[in-house]
Amino acid sequence: MKNLSKLIFGVFVISLFLVFFGCVNQQPIGDKNLVDLNSSSVDNNLTVDKNSSTYSNLESLFRAKTGNTVTVHYVGSYENGTIFDSSVDRNQPITFVVGSGQMIEGFDEAVVGMKVGDKKTVIIPPEKAYGVESTNVYYVDSNMFDTNKLDVGMIFRESINGYIIKVVEVVNDRNVGVTVNNSKAGQTLIFDIEMLNIK
């Protein structure tokens, strides 16, 4: 009986010892110990040599890559400086998935490697924008045009998507040959891009 009492008392003492030292060794995790992986300033909190491969690997985690959903502001202009579109003026940044084909190829490529807060200016040739001007001729009914007489060289702008329709051949009173191109086809485009968010 005495041995049983000693055993119970010993277990009780050990339990108290474990509970006490377990509590003492636990360290509270405050907000200051958490690293926000979405923070653009995360690099400033890393105590890693910036010349090391470890830093390079960590830094790459916060750069946009194919498959990321990114939000950017942009200003698009032609080589002559004319602005054709600006999310900044509308105060409506755009969100898209990098590499999904939602954007022109050159724009997609431009955001790869950017971090939140980064800004860059890119010059995109026609081949990676809206392509070169197509010379394919389509023969259509002249009645589709709101005019009594069609001549070679006449240009019309399609109202919904902004395509440029150019008359290149008048077959007869009812049929004409036309080319159809995006209004930016053949143009070198310049974009000022600011990275706002990466997911």
For the chain, the average pLDDT equals 79
pLDDT over threshold 60, residue 94: yes
Per residue in 97-156, pLDDT (tens digit) is 999 999 999 999 999 999 999 999 999 999 999 999 999 999 999 988 888 889 999 999
Question: Residue 43 is which amino acid?
Answer: D
Instruction: Identify the bridge partners of residue 190 per DSSP, sorted by sequence position.
Output: 77, 123
Mean pLDDT, rounded, for 26-35: 37
pLDDT confidence of residue 102: 96
pLDDT over threshold 70, residue 193: yes
Q: How far is CA 187 from CA 3, 15, 129, 131, 184, in A?
A: 95, 78, 8, 8, 5
pLDDT confidence of residue 161: 76
pLDDT over threshold 90, residue 32: no
Q: What is the DSSP string of the chain?
A: -HHHHHHHHHHHHHHHHHHHHHHHH-----GGG---TT-TTHHHH--S-TTSHHHHHHHHTTS--TT-EEEEEEEEEETTS-EEEEHHHHT--EEEETTSSSS-HHHHHHHTT--TT-EEEEEE-GGGTT-SPP---EEEEGGGSSSS---TT-EEE-TTT--EEEEEEE-SSSEEEEEEE-TTTT--EEEEEEEEEE-
Mean pLDDT, rounded, for 80-106: 97
pLDDT over threshold 90, residue 75: yes
Confidence band, pLDDT 50/70/90 cuts, at residue 7: very low
pLDDT over threshold 50, residue 164: yes
Percent of the chain with pLDDT over 90: 61
How far apart CA 36 and CA 45 sit, in angstroms, is 10
